[in-house]
Amino acid sequence: MHLRRLATATVLGLLVLAGCNSDPPPDDGATASSEPAPTTERTTTTEATTTTEEGPPPGQVTTTTGAPPPPFGTTSPSSAPPPPGATEVALLAGVEVAGGAGVDRVVFRFVDAQLPGYDIAYVDGPVRQDGSGEIVPVEGQARLQVRFEPASGVDLRGGTFEETYRGPDRLRGPTQRVTEVVRTGDFEANLTWVVGVDAATPYRVEVLPGDNAIVVELGH
């Protein structure tokens, strides 16, 4: 009888111990996994600002074009009176024929600072000597007549006869358009030269008081 009670007490003690040592059942809401827990990442978006300057497309060359140069000279007649204060006959001292950069040049130089007026024009038909009317041959397909007034190659002041121009009446030079320059008259204070040209090309006139010269330029 004593042994049965002891066995019963032992069994009860074991049951009590088992109840104390048992772990509580896992919560049904918790899930175990071998994968790491997801990480929440915060993404920050930075908008880049780009400034674009308008310009020519790649490979395109931009060219700035200025105003076109004015046309060279004229083929029409031109004239000018003597400079203010000119009271005497202008005396021719020399004639020069030369080629330049893009032009042929005929220079008429006068004595001192006395310059004449001029009348310049292309003329048709044969060239004639002033006074006599004789035909003067001038080489070239066109003829530019240059007449100075009052002017002469002879100084008649004081009742004397002194040549101020002692050069030839026919000149040539290293030119492209001008074929020759010919004196065709020196009569009653009208001094005339004719410029032979291979064609009626534009010309321009420059008056150079500092050089005592009147220059006729013909474009190439």
Q: Which amino acid is at 18?
A: A
- pLDDT at position 66 is 67
Retrieve residue 1's tokens.
């009888």
- pLDDT at position 38 is 46
- pLDDT at position 45 is 46
Query: What pTM value is reported for the model?
Result: 0.69
Q: Which amino acid is at 203?
A: Y
- pLDDT at position 41 is 47
- pLDDT at position 208 is 96
- pLDDT at position 57 is 60
Let me know if 216 is exposed, middle or buried by CB neighbors in 10 A (0-12, 13-18, 19+).
buried
- pLDDT at position 113 is 85
- pLDDT at position 65 is 60
Q: Is the dihedral of CA 183, 196, 72, 121 positive or negative?
A: positive
Retrieve residue 115's tokens.
């310059």
- pLDDT at position 159 is 85
- pLDDT at position 217 is 98
pLDDT tens profile 17-40:
344 444 444 444 433 333 444 444
Cα(213)–Cα(50) distance, rounded to whole angstroms?
67
Q: Which of 3.40.50.12780, 3.40.50.150, 2.60.40.3500, 3.20.20.70 is the CATH number of 89-219?
A: 2.60.40.3500
- pLDDT at position 31 is 37
- Name the DSSP class of 5: H
Mean pLDDT by 10 residues, the chain (220 residues): 42 42 44 41 47 56 63 95 91 96 97 95 95 95 98 92 97 97 97 98 96 97
Instruction: Report the side by side order of strands in the sheet with 78-80.
Output: 78-80, 117-123, 142-149, 190-197, 178-187, 170-171
Closest to 206 (Cα-Cα) out of 152, 150, 151, 146: 146
Domain ranges of the chain: 89-219
Q: Which residues of 34-45 are buried (b: 16+ CB within 10 A; e: fewer)?
A: eeeeeeeeeeee
Strand-strand pairing, 103-110 and 213-219: antiparallel
Closest to 207 (Cα-Cα) out of 122, 52, 86, 125: 86
